[in-house]
């Protein structure tokens, strides 16, 4: 059974280090955990959630930065398990920023900014993506450097790697394409059960 909520948190998620920017604006229930937020970010951005992830945010009650992610991270530091941490315990209008890393090999860094806390609208099925710009880079393309190489290759049909790269991206890739109507959100509880149970 879904928890009742009266407020929604509006976030802007921006992929760091790429110009022009790739970003999404989403609204999620105040009851969300960081795991739920992770799933919403994956779905809104267009990632396929096949790599590790981690949030870093200031804990407003201690003033110290904390890392929130998955259990079993081999790094020698404390990671708080994301499905045990509620976004409402960390994000406030006075503490609106977090970073979100996805795929520690390609190292996609995202800036997460809480823009507003709004009353829930009755006929909206949350989470919802309300705006965004540009396509997410393909998974496993080699981080920012690999992404720029990919864009250079697929923009030149004369490039000797053009056909191979086009086949690798599934026949087409338009870096400027984003349509909010194409975003669909998975149930974060089902995603977690599939991944961890």
User: What are the domain boundaries of the chain?
Assistant: 7-134+178-196, 138-175
Average pLDDT over residues 34-45: 98
Give the model's pLDDT for residue 2. Answer: 61
- Given a cut of 60, whether residue 129 has pLDDT beyond it is yes
Report in angstroms the alpha-carbon separations of 26 from 62, 116, 138, 158, 180: 28, 11, 21, 39, 10
Residue 1 above 50 pLDDT? no
Cβ 83 vs Cβ 92: under 8 Å: no
Rounded mean pLDDT, 1-21:
91
93-120 residue pLDDT tens? 999 999 999 999 999 999 999 999 999 9
The DSSP code for 76 is S
> How is 134-156 classified by DSSP, letter by letter?
SPPPPTTS-HHHHHHHHHHHHT-
- Whether residue 35 is predicted with pLDDT greater than 80 in this model: the reply is yes
Mean pLDDT of the chain: 94
Whether 59 contacts 28, CB under 8 Å: no
**135 CB neighbour count, 10 Å cutoff:** 16
71 band by pLDDT with thresholds 50, 70 and 90: confident
**Under 8 Å between Cβ of 108 and 100:** no
Which band of pLDDT confidence, cut at 50, 70 and 90, is reported for residue 27?
very high
CATH superfamily to which 7-134+178-196 belongs: MM3350-like (3.10.290.30)
């Amino acid at each position: 059974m879904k928890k009742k909520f009266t407020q929604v948190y509006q976030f802007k998620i921006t992929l760091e280090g790429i110009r022009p920017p790739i970003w999404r604006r989403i609204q999620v229930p105040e009851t969300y955990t960081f795991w739920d937020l992770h799933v919403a970010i994956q779905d809104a951005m267009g990632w396929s959630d096949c790599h590790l992830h981690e949030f870093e945010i200031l804990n407003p009650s201690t003033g110290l930065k904390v890392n929130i992610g998955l259990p079993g991270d081999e790094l020698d530091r404390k990671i708080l398990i994301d499905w045990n941490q509620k976004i409402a315990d960390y994000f406030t209008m006075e503490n609106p920023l977090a970073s979100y890393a996805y795929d520690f090999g390609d190292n996609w860094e995202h800036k997460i900014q809480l823009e507003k806390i709004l009353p829930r609208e009755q006929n909206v099925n949350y989470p919802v993506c309300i705006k965004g710009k540009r396509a997410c880079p393909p998974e496993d393309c080699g981080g920012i450097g690999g992404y720029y190489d990919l864009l250079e290759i697929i923009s030149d049909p004369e490039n000797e790697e053009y056909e191979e790269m086009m086949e690798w991206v599934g026949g087409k890739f338009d870096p400027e394409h984003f349509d909010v109507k194409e975003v669909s959100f998975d149930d974060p509880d089902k995603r977690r059960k599939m991944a961890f149970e």
